[in-house]
């Protein structure tokens, strides 16, 4: 789990966002904490209580960053998106940062 202040979040968003409305990233950071902070913002493009196909996830994430697959992976790894084992379906697990162990 990464703790961060609103000031830290603003700094990361300023550094990595080309635009916030719509959300578009210039690049994706190497440091885990910065990745996590960006993921806490990216999750808000999804709707709660809805199932998405991988294709639908990719379409939404392509608008945010060219390497949409890495974003999708971190959304799942950090526990913001749930995913069926076969990858056929995704859903929002949480909009809030959680204490899931990062490995």
Instruction: List, for residues 78-99, the tens digit of each pLDDT value.
Output: 999 999 999 899 999 988 865 4
State what percent of residues in the chain have pLDDT above 70: 92
The alpha carbon dihedral of 87, 91, 97, 99 has a sign of: negative
pTM beyond 0.85, yes or no: yes
Mean predicted lDDT score pLDDT of the chain: 92
Name the DSSP letter for residue 23.
Answer: E
Q: Distance between CA 50 and CA 100 in Å, rounded? A: 22
**Looking at 54-58, 63-67, 91-95, which range is the least confident one?**
91-95
More confident residue, 1 or 11: 11
Work out the average pLDDT over 12-18. Answer: 97
């Amino acid at each position: 789990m990464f703790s961060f202040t609103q000031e830290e979040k603003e700094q990361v968003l300023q550094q990595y966002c080309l635009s916030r409305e719509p959300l578009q990233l210039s690049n994706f950071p190497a440091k885990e904490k910065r990745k996590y902070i960006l993921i806490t913002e990216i999750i808000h493009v999804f709707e709660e209580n809805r199932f998405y196909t991988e294709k639908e996830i990719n379409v939404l994430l392509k608008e945010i960053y060219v390497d949409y697959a890495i974003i999708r992976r971190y959304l799942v790894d950090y526990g913001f998106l749930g995913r069926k084992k076969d990858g056929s379906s995704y859903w929002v697990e949480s909009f809030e940062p959680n204490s899931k162990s990062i490995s």
